Chains A and B, each alone.
Chain A
Amino acid sequence: MNDPVRLYDGALSSRLLLGTARYPSPAILAEAIRASGCEIVTVSLRREAGGARAGEAFWSLIRDVGARVLPNTAGCRTAKEAIATAQMAREVFATDWIKLEVIGEEDTLQPDVFGLVEAARALADEGFKVFPYTTDDLVVAEKLLDAGCRVLMPWAAPIGSGRGVNDAFALRALRAHFPDTPLVVDAGLGAPSHAALVMEMGYDAVLLNTAVSRAGDPVLMARAFALAIEAGRAGFRAQPMTPRDMAEPSTPLIGRPFDRLA
């Protein structure tokens, strides 16, 4: 089934984007990436003393895996920090893709949507392909598109919470309002069924990390999510029936034995 999704200049056959943090070991991370079949992994930049060997083992693992990297601006609290981080990421990772995060609140890690729009505009003007991590707010989404974003990444629930879709109505509304913009659900999913649900709603892709890395068996969970995403996508394309209030017999009644045509 050839059904690629286009995110900026990338045509991807896998609709799963995978985070690389908090796996039990580098070997399990590499296996999970392979098992998921994902073509994009998210990476980060961290301030860390350490001279020549800082971060090198991780970076060579990612290069060996062969997936395209999507750097993030995790931990940035202002537009200014996020912009500088994006610029550093472009140089270090040699990509103009950036997952833009501007965190506004420590407890929920909720995006600061004002800083987000400001940073998105500045980065898009500089030629970045911005993947903004945002809430499910329609007006913010509008402003991000206006700022130059061509992909939106709304949350389903707070980062790492594993709660699944908190507000299905808001996510459906977002999908309905932006039928032509690639929408990636980022953050808050916990189980494969959550991913299947958003794919059935017509979302284009799913970005996961904790749900896979902190599962009992991350490799098996990566595979499970990949299957769920594929199933959900196929389900969306196949156009599900509309729910009915009453039972509808699935077997044709005409010609049924003992039937009395009244």
Chain B
Amino acid sequence: MLARVIGAGVAGLCAAYALARKGVDVEIVERESAPGLGCSRFAGGMIAPWCELESAEPLVATLGEEALDFWSRELGVATVAGSLVVAPTRERAELADFARRTRNFESLDAKAIAALEPDLAGRFDAALFFRQEAHLDPRAALIALTERLAQTPNVTLHFQQDAAGRATIPDWIIDCRGFAARDALPGLRGVKGEMLILRSDEISLARPVRMLHPRRPVYVVPRGEGLFMVGATMIENEERARVTARSVVELVNSAFAVHPAFAEAEIVETGSDLRPAFADNLPRLLKRGRTLYINGLYRHGFLLAPALARRAAEVVVNDGHFPEVMDADSDQRAAAGCERDDVATAAGRTGV
């Protein structure tokens, strides 16, 4: 069986990997000259399934848990050092809300924060620590994954090629084009994100730090060698590839609030792209004949791609069906909503 994967971003490469592991012959077709040049390139690379519960449906955490093992053990590209969530002193309510909506964390006081991240000593008096979460460098991770695929006998990679120009007719097309698949998926929208990469030798962080703020939340992810990724804006705007001065000011201001030394950091790079999302911000596997679309990963590309890839391979090889990502909106929401209702009922019970 031959599957053609279109798009060599995180979704496409993970899909190719999962299919190849099941013995499917895979050809990856990418219009760019190298893997991961789409929105994967600008990802935060936080494998943080429980932190994401703050604003995402429970399904995102369930699927996202599969990514921890994949990136850290199977590929060995992620560092499991946890995530640290802080808030400015006057925004402590944000921390309380975050704690209420997430799980698998420990509450830290100022002393424990200092022990964990010495450079943040004295800056925050409370934090949440999600010990089991991980982070990775998206670019290095996709290069490693591509190398692994290149060494796999039943996988071929074709860069700077248009899928329409391929001569062979595959048994399956796995469409992983992200926002570019909008031509086939009318419900898809783009949510603009902007990020910065800063270099500073004055600060050292061992793990991603998220700073909560009602208007300008930010995360800082250490990338090694003095580099830090600072992200990311969330703008309902389908304009691509342009970082506004306002966003740079906001991101730098927020990074400054995490640590003042960021004001002196060098701006190494600014980047921007569109996160592909459906109206409910939940991912989909959409089967149309012999084409399988993997899309709608929104801000959770690295978090969700491994789980979706495994399911896609099951669909292709064993005609599997996964209602949580394959059913129409309402069913999916109902399934994802069960847990929410339970929480509401429980809160009602204890709240009297």
User: What is the interface of chain A, defined by CB distance below 8 A to chain B?
Assistant: 24-28, 30, 48-51, 53-58, 61, 160, 162, 214, 216-217, 220
Tell me if B239 and A54 are in contact (CB < 8 A): yes
Whether B239 and A26, one on each chain, are in contact in the complex, defined by CB atoms closer than 8 angstroms, is no
CA distance A214 to B56 in the complex (A): 12
| A54 engages B237 (CB within 8 Å) | yes
- A-facing residues in B68-123 (Cβ within 8 Å): 93, 97, 100-101
**Contact call A49/B239, Cβ cutoff below 8 A:** yes
Q: Which chain B residues lie closer than 8 Å to A214 at the CB level?
A: 97
Q: Are B239 and A53 in contact (CB under 8 A)?
A: yes
Q: Complex Cα distance A58/B56, Å?
A: 19
Q: Are A48 and B235 in contact (CB under 8 A)?
A: yes
Q: Select one of B97, B214, B238 contacting A53, CB under 8 A.
A: B238
Residue B259 interfacial (CB < 8 Å)? no
Q: Which residues of B contact A (CB under 8 A)?
A: 55-57, 93, 97, 100-101, 189-190, 192, 214, 235-239, 242, 244, 277-282, 329, 333, 340, 343-344, 347
**Nearest A residue to B244 by beta-carbon distance?**
A49
Given known contacts A53-B238, A57-B236, A214-B97, is B279 in contact with A30 (CB within 8 Å)? yes
Are A55 and B56 in touch, CB under 8 angstroms? no
Q: Considering the chains assembled together, what is the distance between the CA atoms of A50 and B56 in angstroms?
A: 26
CB distance from B352 to the nearest CB of A (A): 14
- Contacts A25-B280, A28-B280: A53 and B237 contacting too (C-beta < 8 A)? yes
Cα distance A28–B336 in the bound complex, in angstroms: 13
Nearest CB of B to A58, in Å: 5
**With a CB–CB cut-off of 8 A, which chain B residues contact A56?**
238
Closest chain B CB from A2 CB (angstroms): 31
Interchain CB contact under 8 A, B344 and A50: no
A55 and B236 contacting across the interface, CB-CB below 8 Å = yes
Closest 10 CB pairs of A and B: A50-B239, A27-B280, A53-B238, A25-B281, A27-B279, A57-B189, A50-B237, A26-B279, A24-B55, A54-B237
* Cα(A24)–Cα(B100), bound, Å: 16
B209 nearest CB across to chain A (Å)? 22
Bound CA–CA A55/B280 (angstroms): 17
Chain A residues lying within 8 Å of B97, measured Cβ to Cβ, are 214
Which residues of chain B come closer than 8 Å to A48, judged between CB atoms? 235, 237, 239
With A217-B340, A217-B343, A220-B344 already in contact, the answer to whether A27 and B236 are too (CB < 8 A) is no
Could you tell me the distance between the alpha carbons of A51 and B237 in the complex, rounded to whole angstroms?
Answer: 9
Does B344 contact A24, Cβ atoms closer than 8 Å? no
Contacts of B190 in A (CB 8 A): 53
Q: Complex: how many Å from CA A54 to CA B238?
A: 6
Q: How far is the CA of A24 from the CA of B280 in the complex (A)?
A: 8
Q: State the Cβ distance, A54 to closest chain B Cβ, in Å.
A: 5
In whole angstroms, what is the CA distance A27 to B93 when docked? 26
- Which residues of A lie under 8 Å from residue B347 when comparing CB positions? 216
Shortest C-beta distance, B179 to chain A (Å), equals: 11
Cβ contact within 8 Å between A27 and B343: no
Cross-chain contact A24 with B281 (CB below 8 angstroms): yes
Interface centre among A25, A48, A49, A162 (most CB of B within 10 A): A25
Specify which chain A residues have a CB less than 8 angstroms from the CB of B340 in the assembled complex. Answer: 216-217, 220
Measured between C-beta atoms, what is the minimum distance from A109 to chain B in Å? Answer: 11
**Complex CA–CA separation, A160 to B238 (angstroms):** 28
Q: Please give, as numbers and ranges, the residues of chain A lying within 8 Å of B239 by CB-CB distance.
A: 48-51, 53-54
CA distance A49 to B340 in the complex (A): 37
Rounded to whole Å, the gap between the CB of B253 and the closest CB of chain A is: 13
Q: Distance (Å) between the CB of A144 and the closest chain B CB?
A: 28
Q: Is B238 touching A50 in the complex (CB atoms < 8 A)?
A: yes
CB contacts (< 8 Å) of B56 on chain A: these are 24
Smallest beta-carbon distance A5→chain B, Å? 29
Could you list 27 A-B pairs, sorted by A, with CB under 8 Å? A24-B56, A24-B57, A24-B281, A25-B277, A25-B280, A26-B236, A26-B281, A27-B279, A27-B329, A48-B235, A49-B242, A49-B244, A50-B192, A50-B237, A51-B239, A54-B237, A54-B239, A57-B238, A58-B236, A160-B214, A214-B97, A216-B340, A216-B343, A216-B347, A217-B340, A217-B344, A220-B340
Q: A27 touching B100 by the CB < 8 A rule?
A: no
Query: A25 contacts which chain B residues (CB < 8 A)?
Result: 277, 279-282
Chain A residue nearest to B274 in the complex (CB): A53
B214 partner residues in chain A, CB cutoff 8 A:
160
What 8 additional pairs, Cβ within 8 angstroms, besides A55-B236, A216-B343? A25-B281, A26-B236, A27-B279, A27-B333, A51-B239, A162-B93, A216-B344, A216-B347
Chain B residues closer than 8 Å to A55, beta-carbon distance: 236-237
In the complex, residue of chain A having the shortest beta-carbon distance to the beta carbon of B97: A214
For B279, the chain A residues whose CB sits under 8 A away are 25-27, 30, 61
> In the bound complex, how far is the Cα of B99 from the Cα of A124, in angstroms?
46
CA–CA, A220 to B343, complex, Å? 11
Chain A residue nearest in CB terms to B333: A27
Assembly CA distance A195 to B278 (angstroms): 33
